Amino acid sequence: MYEDYKNILSELKSHSHFRVLKHFADKDEKFIYYKGKKLLNLSSNNYLNFADNVQITGEFLDYAGKKYSLGSASSRLLTGTLPVYDELETLLADLYGKEAALLYNSGYHANVGISSALNKKGDVVFSDKLNHASIIDGMQLSQGKFFRYPHNDMEALENLLIRERENYNNAFIITESVFSMDGDIADLEKIVELKKKYNCGLIIDEAHAFGVFGEKGLGVAEETGLIDDIDLIVGTFGKAVGSMGAFAVGSGVLIDFLINKSRSFIFSTALPPINIAFSKWIIETKFPKTLKNRRRMLEIAKNMGGKSHIIPVIVGENKDTVDLCEVLFHNGYFTLPIRPPTVPAGTSRIRLSLTCEIEEEELRILKEKICESTLVKQAE
Ligand SMILES: Cc1ncc(COP(=O)(O)O)c(C=O)c1O
């Protein structure tokens, strides 16, 4: 009976799309230990180096002691809402100056729950083509209609709004702020202008920007002064915070609606209290001290041609990309090839993600090897 599954796996293998788990020996806040080598980790979302950090973990445990349990044993709507959840939600709502906040178990839960709940029958979502899989999955689960506009193409978005907006009841525009694979940044000013002109709600996923952009680390919305114009801002704790989970901040009505209708929120056990306490502790005590380092990281990224701390090195063909990763591995860098279907065919790439503690000098050989590889390709 499993013949068809085997055939699909063979097909994946024949196109080099078969995914396997890598078994690392260890990892710390900056390096990863793999196949007997210590490698500078350029493939994690640990932007502020708080995850896998023995000092940070020790400091937190000294503060937290045995106060917080390791399991919630219940969804939030049953017996899962202890004070620490309320405290983190209040902290986030206050930081953003919004009426309310809601915690989710992950960014995936948040996006699936939000896009599927808000987009009711008769409603519509306009979504950037490169938005994360969790947004797409949420839209597919929804009762409403959705359109995907070409990546960051504001003219195409406006044309779509002109053609389609009046055919629907509620309408939302959804975009990431810093795009996860390309590291480029959505034109939030223009999107806010369009959302106002065409009477839409606006949802921004700041997964890769939360903790990195903005004076307080609240994201691109803060950096651009547009927080008040955005109806729902989503952030995650699994990246810069070095924890796990996610949040949405917005009006009381939207958050109440999500509590009542967002199935990924309702039907899942809440994260462990200790995890919520850790996210809160990082945001409260560590975020305010990171501004200088974050700015420095973004400066290094800019020097490498990046628009954010995520820098795509487009190689083109799958094999060339894998070969370049191998060269970098032998020179002390951990990078991963990103291939179709994650990115469009012919744009296979290495996605470099920087973290705050990386020194520019540590990237010198990496830059040389990338340059050499590109030159070899151009000469061919
Ligand atoms: C833009 C974006 N949104 C949401 C998520 C999902 O977040 P989480 O890993 O917390 O499920 C990701 C994760 O990679 C992401 O890149």
Q: For each of the domains in the chain, give its residue range(s) and CATH number, in order of start.
A: 24-48+290-379 (3.90.1150.10), 63-288 (3.40.640.10)
Q: For 193-248, what is each residue's pLDDT tens digit?
A: 999 999 999 999 999 999 999 999 999 999 999 999 999 999 999 999 999 999 99
Residue 5, pLDDT > 60, answer yes
Residue nearest to atom 5 of ligand 1 (CA): 107
238 Cα nearest atom in ligand 1:
10
**C-alpha dist (Å) from residue 229 to 84, 120, 239, 251, 297:** 29, 22, 25, 11, 28
Distance in angstroms (rounded) separating the CA atoms of residues 84 and 68: 9
Assign 318 a pLDDT band (cuts: 50, 70, 90).
Answer: confident
Assign 380 a pLDDT band (cuts: 50, 70, 90).
Answer: low
Distance in angstroms (rounded) separating the CA atoms of residues 166 and 149: 17
State whether the beta carbon of 231 lies less than 6 angstroms from ligand 1.
Answer: no
Distance in angstroms (rounded) separating the CA atoms of residues 221 and 239: 17
Q: How far is CA 90 from the centre of its chain?
A: 22
Q: Taking the CB of residue 376, how many other CB atoms lie within 10 A of it?
A: 12
Query: Which pLDDT score is estimated for 344?
Result: 83
For ligand 1, pick from 127, 236, 239 the residue to mutate: most ligand atoms within 8 Å of CB.
Answer: 236
Q: For 34-69, what is each residue's pLDDT tens digit?
A: 999 999 999 999 999 999 999 999 999 999 999 999
- 0.85 surpassed by pTM: yes
Assign 376 a pLDDT band (cuts: 50, 70, 90).
Answer: low
Q: How far is the CA of 207 from the centre of ligand 1 (A)?
A: 6
Q: For 244-263, what is each residue's pLDDT tens digit?
A: 999 999 999 999 999 999 99
For ligand 1, pick from 45, 47, 109, 111 the residue to mutate: most ligand atoms within 8 Å of CB.
Answer: 111
Q: How far is the CA of 118 from the centre of ligand 1 (A)?
A: 19
Residue 189's identity, in one-letter code, is E
According to DSSP, the β-strands at 31-34 and 37-41 are antiparallel
Q: For 88-119, what is each residue's pLDDT tens digit?
A: 999 999 999 999 999 999 999 999 999 999 99
Q: How far is the CA of 236 from the centre of ligand 1 (A)?
A: 7
State whether the beta carbon of 111 lies less than 6 angstroms from ligand 1.
Answer: yes
Q: How high is the mean pLDDT of the chain?
A: 96
State whether the beta carbon of 207 lies less than 6 angstroms from ligand 1.
Answer: yes
Residue nearest to atom 4 of ligand 1 (CA): 107
Query: Which pLDDT score is estimated for 244?
Result: 98
Q: For 183-192, what is each residue's pLDDT tens digit?
A: 999 999 999 9
Question: Alpha helix (H) ranges present in the chain?
Answer: 3-14, 54-64, 83-96, 107-118, 133-141, 154-164, 188-197, 220-223, 252-261, 263-266, 273-281, 291-303, 318-330, 364-379
Question: Which residues are CB-neighbours of 198 under 8 A, at least 6 positions away?
Answer: 161, 162, 165, 171
Question: Mean pLDDT over residues 123-142, rounded?
Answer: 97
Q: For 154-183, what is each residue's pLDDT tens digit?
A: 999 999 999 999 999 999 999 999 999 999
